[in-house]
Chain A
Amino acid sequence: MEFKRPGILPGFWPSFSYTVLYLSLIVLIPLSAVFLKAASAGWSKIWDTISSPRVVAAYKVSFGASFAAALASVFIGFVIAWALERYEFPGRSIVDALVDIPFALPTAVAGISLTSLYAPNGWLGRYLEPLGIKVAFTPLGISIALVFIGLPFVVRSVQPVLEDADHEIEEAASSLGASRWQVFRLVLFPAFRPALLTGFALAFARGLGEYGSVVFISGNLPMKTEIAPLLIIAKLEQYDYAGAAAIAVAMLVASFLMLLIINVVQGRSRRFLETKLS
């Protein structure tokens, strides 16, 4: 490796070496253990583990609930971000601060609180139960927990774009005779579509790995409401380290692939916008 060191500031080598050493010890070496452990068990063992019916069912629950929750977060988060950025109203800055609560509240606390709200005798559950809507201990409950976790990602992704939106284009469109709905659909929406996608991707990726807020409300019924991270713990409790590592590798690869796809989609929509505008 070749290092360029312009300037006269001291301390490059000590801080660089310390950064790399600490990063390797805490993150890179332990993380490589998952891949090595899975690989040492052999491909057939990995495949047997990740294709067993209970594990496949857990993947489906995790993906389905995370996808639904990320989609719901996009709609809910968009309404909140829109109101926060475009309108002035009493309590605006309080609502803005409250959006960060899910980032700060420990996941286990969120988990027991949401469960108590949506349980059949809970404050919300007791009104939903007579309507035939069961939330706690169903996939819907998992999604509700993941909406709580995912919402701030969407709001915080969309907010800066709404703030920077070019109001002259909007005004030009309406003075040229576009209806309010046309302005929204043809002028505003394309501008913040990438931000909505980013928020969706962040919420989805976070939802796939989420544990604390979900385990309480999901009820953990095998084949029905068991999520993938919980199966890792189940494997560990049976001292099946290789099995746990195999599920973990599948999860890591899935979230990596998803972020890659989102990046490609985003790049394409950015290029689309640029060619359209030029």
Chain B
Amino acid sequence: MSNISRRRILRNEPPLLRWGVITLACALTFLFIVLPLAAVFIQAFDKGWAVWQAAVTEENARSAIYLSLIVTGIAVPLNLAFGLAAAWTIARFQFKGRNVLLTLIDIPFGVSPVVSGLIFVLVFGAQGWLGPWLSDHDIQIIFAVPGIVLATVFVTFPFVARELIPLMQSQGADEEEAAIVLGATAWQMFRRVTLPNIKWGLLYGVVLCTARALGEFGAVSVVSGHIRGATNTIPLHVEILYNEYNYTAAFAVASLLSVVAVVTLGLKKILEWKTREANS
């Protein structure tokens, strides 16, 4: 509430300047942010509901959706487990190298998506470190589903940890220490104290992780091999349709991902509000 009152005091600029800036800001937001999103939906339903439905239920689209869901279903729980372990280590204990660990966790956010895919080709590809051994044992990782999973895990690696670490640091360890002193086991403490305290932040991290896993393009594009019906995720299917000049179908499939993005933003608002409420 203090925010609003402060803003009221600040409205000291002449009205013309104030409304000029507000109009300019809204126009820029519309031009650079809203228009590209709106264009997806408008072009997706360009030729009507039936064409949209045909495009998203066609066989290759269905298998792309299925693959994206599987990859996300593997990557998110893995990074969730890691996020919990990393947050517990960093937010609850003091040790040498703690800041180094914190920095290393952020690396995937700073690496180009293409490089994120490349590193797995260099390790598992035909001419990579493990390439000869893998081909002797008839295991394929690159240009197959495991490679897509690995690349997705890499690019979504920091999301849960990055949400939990600051949250747990600001909450402090008092309640958990009290639980242990009162005789709780580690599992009881985690389930009854830690988890209820971090649940909204945890959920938010999972939402961000899921959205990125479904939408990742560059890294997955490098390792997938683009085999239709086999190693195409939703964004890769969009690319193929677009490059075939099948624009309506491309935007129809893209509209699914855009809905995920909009839902993510809605959940973000709700969860931010819940976290604030829980911590106040």
| Nearest-neighbor residue (CB-CB) of A75 within chain B | B28
Instruction: Decide if A8 touches B177 in the complex (CB within 8 Å).
Output: yes
The secondary structure that dominates the A interface is helix
Q: Given the known A-B contacts A101-B265, A211-B217, are A232 and B8 also in contact in the complex, defined by CB atoms under 8 Å? A: no
Q: When the two chains form their complex, are residues B113 and A104 in contact, meaning their CB atoms are under 8 A apart?
A: no
Give chain B residues whose Cβ lies under 8 Å from the Cβ of A15.
Answer: 84-86, 88-89
A83-B21, A101-B37, A209-B112 as given contacts; A112 in contact with B32, CB under 8 Å: no
Contact of A22 among B10, B85, B236, B265 (CB under 8 A): B85
Q: Is the CB of B186 within 8 A of A10?
A: yes
Nearest chain A CB to B21's CB is how many angstroms away?
5
Q: Which segment, of B48-56, B58-66, B124-132, B195-203, faces chain A?
A: B124-132
Docked Cα-Cα span, A79 to B20, in Å, equals: 11
What string of 1s and 0s marks CB contacts (under 8 Å) between B100-135 and chain A? Answer: 010011011011111100111111011111000000
Query: Would you list which residues of chain A between 77 and 101 have a CB under 8 Å from chain B?
Result: 79-80, 82-89, 91, 95, 97-101
Q: How far apart sit A245 and B26, CA to CA, in the bound complex (Å)?
A: 43
Chain A residue numbers with a CB within 8 Å of B26 are: 83, 91, 95
In the bound complex, do residue A113 and residue B118 qualify as a contact, i.e. CB atoms below 8 Å apart?
no
When C-beta atoms are compared, the residue in chain B nearest to A212 turns out to be B217
The secondary-structure label for the interface of chain B is helix
The answer to whether A27 and B118 have CB atoms under 8 Å apart is: no
Which of A32-90 touch B at CB < 8 Å?
A: 33-34, 37, 76, 79-80, 82-89
Interface residues of B in 1-47 (CB under 8 A from A): 3-4, 6-11, 13, 18, 21-22, 24-26, 28-29, 32-37, 39-40, 43
Cα separation A255 to B95 with both chains bound (whole Å): 29
Contacts of A169 in B (CB 8 A): none
Q: Which of B4, B181, B262 has most A Cβ within 10 Å?
A: B262
Q: Are B186 and A76 in contact (CB under 8 A)?
A: no
B173 touches A (CB below 8 Å): yes
Q: Is the beta-carbon distance between A6 and B94 smaller than 8 angstroms?
A: yes
If A84-B25, A167-B9, A211-B114 touch, whether A31 touches B107 (CB-CB below 8 Å) is yes
Cβ A88 vs Cβ B8 within 8 A:
yes
Residue B251, interface by CB 8 Å: yes
Closest to B124 in A: A30
Contact yes or no, A4 B94, CB < 8 A:
yes
Interface residue from B7, B36, B85, B247 paired with A117 (Cβ < 8 Å): B36
Name 13 A/B residue pairs within 8 A (Cβ), A-sorted. A9-B177, A12-B92, A15-B88, A18-B81, A87-B7, A87-B21, A89-B22, A98-B34, A104-B262, A106-B254, A147-B32, A211-B112, A216-B242
